[in-house]
Structures are given as C-alpha cells and as structure tokens.
Amino acid sequence: MPFQTTPLPGLLVFEPRVFGDERGYFFEAYNEQVFQEVDAAACFVQDNQAASSRGVLRGLHFQAGEAAQAKLVRVVSGEVYDVTVDIRPTSPTYLQWYGLYLSGDNHRQLYIPRGYAHGYVVTSKEAIFLYKCDNFYAPEAEGGLRYDDPAIGVEWPEVEGGYHIVERDLAWPGL
C-alpha cells in the first residue's frame, strides 16, 4: 500500500510507485480508486499552484465551517517542510502537529482531511507547490494560526537567510 499513517487521524502520506528509466520517470499522482481504498478519495474541485523561494513560510491556513477543505499537497520541484495542525476541538489530537519534507525528488504527497490548518516553509532555493482542494476557496471563511504559536509548538527547520512571512500571516492570532 502506498500510504503511511501519521499520528493525526485521517492525515496520510502517499508515496507513489515511481517508474524511472533513461527517459526520466512516470508516476500516477492521483488515482481515485487507490485513494478510495484508504477512505481518502475526495471530489477535488480546485487545483492551486504556488512558486516560492527559500525561506518563504506560508501558513498556517484553513477554511472554516461549510467552506472547510480537504487537500492533497505535493511539491513538483524543490523542497518544503510541510506542517499540518489538527484544529478540530473534539479531536483527541486537537492542536497536535505533524511535519515532513515534501520534494520533487521524493514525490511524497500529503492527504489532509478537513479540520486541519496547513502551512509550509521552502527549504530549497525555489519550490513549486501544488495542491488539490475538495471545496472552493471562500475568503469569508479563511482563517489562520500563528506559525510560531507556543501553544502549538511547531518545530520549524532553520532556513538559510531566515523566514520570509507576509504581514497577513504574521497577523494571525495566537491561541
């Protein structure tokens, strides 16, 4: 099975089978039947792509209520340290976080169910980050958590040159 469980319920690491030869490589980035086997299939309605340079830290973002989103995230080129936080108040893992490196070389993907905040920091010179969402973006439902909130305690990796964070992300409240 190409999935690894994590300590957070429903959060799955997908490691596709990669076929490589002298031409390059090939892998299925998404196959609904494979994801259905682990109850992680979603009707994805929106694909997003972001390009960022070393030290750019995005997050921790979420959409609340009816606009909540499940996501399937991956990196096409470069590398990021990806972080997910359980923000479901009734969950036994409420406010616990999980982090892993996603890169264009390791081809890992992370399936993030609804009810999680998400963010990442670019650890390579540049990175192209893709994610599928099962719900449309709704600006009125957007929320966020401070990346450095001590109540959560995310252990972000040090990045040469430090972090580059937009004011909007620095303005998210702490718990």
Ordered by start, the domain boundaries in the chain are: 3-170
Q: What is the pLDDT of residue 33?
A: 84
Is 107 catalytic? The answer is no
Q: What is the pLDDT of residue 28?
A: 87
Tokens 């905040």 belong to 117
- Indicate the pTM of the whole model: 0.93
The DSSP secondary structure of 120-174, one letter per residue, reads EEE-SSEEEEEEEESS---GGGEEE--TT-TTT---PPP-TT--B--HHHHTSPP
Contact 86, 116 (CB under 8 A): yes
DSSP state of 56: B
| Token pair belonging to 96 | 């616990």
Partners of residue 86 on adjacent β-strands: 116
Q: What is the pLDDT of residue 173?
A: 87
Q: What is the pLDDT of residue 128?
A: 98
Contact 105, 15 (CB under 8 A): no
Chain Cα centroid distance, residue 166: 18
In this structure, whether the domain defined by 3-170 belongs to CATH 2.60.120.10 is answered with yes
Contact 55, 161 (CB under 8 A): yes
Is 61 catalytic? The answer is yes
Tokens 């599928």 belong to 132
Q: What is the pLDDT of residue 35?
A: 81
Q: Which of 116, 120, 131, 147 is catalytic?
A: 131
The string over 67-85, giving b where at least 16 C-beta atoms fall within 10 Å of a residue's C-beta and e elsewhere, is: bbbbbbbbbeebbbbbbbb
Q: What is the pLDDT of residue 79?
A: 98
Q: Which of 30, 61, 163, 164 is catalytic?
A: 61
Indicate the residue type of 109.
Q
For the chain (175 residues), the mean pLDDT of every run of 10, in chain order, is 88 92 89 81 90 97 96 97 97 97 97 97 98 96 96 97 96 88
Partners of residue 53 on adjacent β-strands: 126
Listed residue (46, 71, 43) closest to 58, CA to CA: 71
Q: How far apart are CA 15 and CA 2, in angstroms?
A: 5
